[in-house]
Structure 1
């Protein structure tokens, strides 16, 4: 009998068993923080090298002590979204994945002992030159074949089984991060993601019938993906939290990121909301962007393209009317989807939001964090800010202001509504 048939029958049996079990109360999530996939970024070759310390996985475990984690808990967070590099589990192979899963469980238990609920997030990322075996080879996207799909389902089952014995009110599993499926699908009926999501749920349920799962829509886990997903096939499962990520406007939240060569790399320090960009300010922003392009881009043809593109990006931002009202309208779409499908707002999670601070206007950074958090709470959604910055305070997406005490930057703490918690 083919393995796929056996797996399908087993999944059907587990779901039938699930329906007969009493519902387990899902953890009550309110205010959370993401822990980064790596503190020191690691590619496959480095990970597989004999000298790599796999006993320090995830790699914040050997850098952060319980006193620091307790300090972070005291800032007002009740849960951690624990980003785990799912590709590393694939790199390690079937035998090597077991000890890594043991380390994930140990990290989860350590956080729970300090009072956090924990979402174990299998944070699978797109492939790059140093990091093969990513989203495309698992999901079959970007013209790749899903050559790792069966292996990935098996990992979900293994991890779910290990997490199933932990406290039910503090343990959740998110089986995949930002699935980049269905960007080219024009009608929801043709989407591939619903079947893949069902298979991920079934893989987890084989070993963990009542473990709370955090599930998302396609199209990289944003609002569009969630809004086009029909949750009716999952209605028999009482232990699901639905999640989405939100970084709009991207021209502000991701400005200056050095790993992408697009207009946003050069058009930086934008005011937020967009209404704050006047004519004189716009000209100054363009001059600064084009000066950076002149300094950093050697190819004349590419410089000309970018000179035009940054002007178009600024025009688009100014006409977008981006501000708290547009965020509220976007979150209303999620609220409508939840209401139409019988999903209580407390079962909806804003799993990531934040801003890349290295080239951001400081006031805009605080304003965008506050507006996004406020919109989530207004709809009754839980949220998890991205990201902690456990060992990189004041850099990237970090919200921590002191990587020794793990305390938040005061203005960020106020923007997250934690000042009086």
Structure 2
């Protein structure tokens, strides 16, 4: 009798698992209606200053100019989301090795600040061309396998950084408009 009871319990548990697997998953939905893009998507200080916490933090730079009350005013004006461009180049630069954890934490603080204002946020990893005072841009990431691998690892870490946030309030865009040559004519812009 004990064997029969154990079998029934095991079969019942297995049945519950099968039913749970057969049901459609309830994925969180990120929806947006009216919003805007935050700040210019470039990192203002030159790469030679990226190792200086005073120059690079808080990150992204819009936090040096906008506060929570400014964000609440955007919510009061009828916006429901902000797209927050994040320049990934500092995460890939040798200049920021000592500040990497601070950069990730600062992006997370920025996300939470936007959410506290009642707005949703899209975290947009927004590469731009290298040049001037920066060595890493879209072409370097897309053309060099080692730099691309470092970019993918940075995306993984950013995703892990954001993973604990409410997915109905936070979306993640791992790369904005990748540019690659598709044929001999290329896709030069």
| TM interval, short-chain normalised | 0.7 to 0.9
| Deviation (angstroms), 1:40 | 7.2
| Deviation (angstroms), 1:39 | 8.0
* TM-score normalised to structure 1 length: 0.36
Q: How does 1:15-414 map to 2 (within 5 A)?
A: 22-37=25-40, 41-48=44-51, 50=52, 52-91=54-93, 92-93=95-96, 95-140=98-143, 145-184=144-183
| Deviation (angstroms), 1:185 | 5.9
What is the distance in 1 between the residues matched to 2:177 and 2:184?
Answer: 16
Distance 1:130 1:182, change over 3 A: same
Distance 1:158 1:65, change over 3 A: same
What is the distance in 2 between the residues matched to 1:39 and 1:129?
Answer: 12
Unaligned runs of 5+ in 1: 1-19, 192-218, 223-421
Q: Indicate the SS of the match to 1:159.
A: helix
Q: Indicate the SS of the match to 1:169.
A: coil
Distance 1:185 1:80, change over 3 A: farther
| Deviation (angstroms), 1:129 | 2.5
Q: Indicate the SS of the match to 1:96.
A: helix
Alignment root-mean-square deviation, CA: 2.7
Q: Indicate the SS of the match to 1:42.
A: coil
Runs of 4+ displaced beyond 4 Å: 37-40, 92-95
Contact 1:37 1:84 in 2 (8 A): no
Aligned residue pair count: 166
* TM-score normalised to structure 2 length: 0.77
| Deviation (angstroms), 1:115 | 1.3
Distance 1:51 1:65, change over 3 A: closer
What is the distance in 2 between the residues matched to 1:21 and 1:185?
Answer: 45
Query: What do residues 236-273 of structure 1 show as CA deviations (whole Å, max 9, x unaligned)?
Result: xxxxxxxxxxxxxxxxxxxxxxxxxxxxxxxxxxxxxx
| Deviation (angstroms), 1:32 | 1.6
Query: What do residues 92-151 of structure 1 show as CA deviations (whole Å, max 9, x unaligned)?
Result: 5555322101100000001011111111011111111311111111111xxxx3330111
Determine which structure has greater relative contact order: mean sequence separation of CA pairs < 8 Å that are 6+ residues apart, divided by chain length. Answer: 2
Contact 1:138 1:148 in 2 (8 A): yes
| Deviation (angstroms), 1:86 | 0.5
Q: Indicate the SS of the match to 1:148.
A: helix
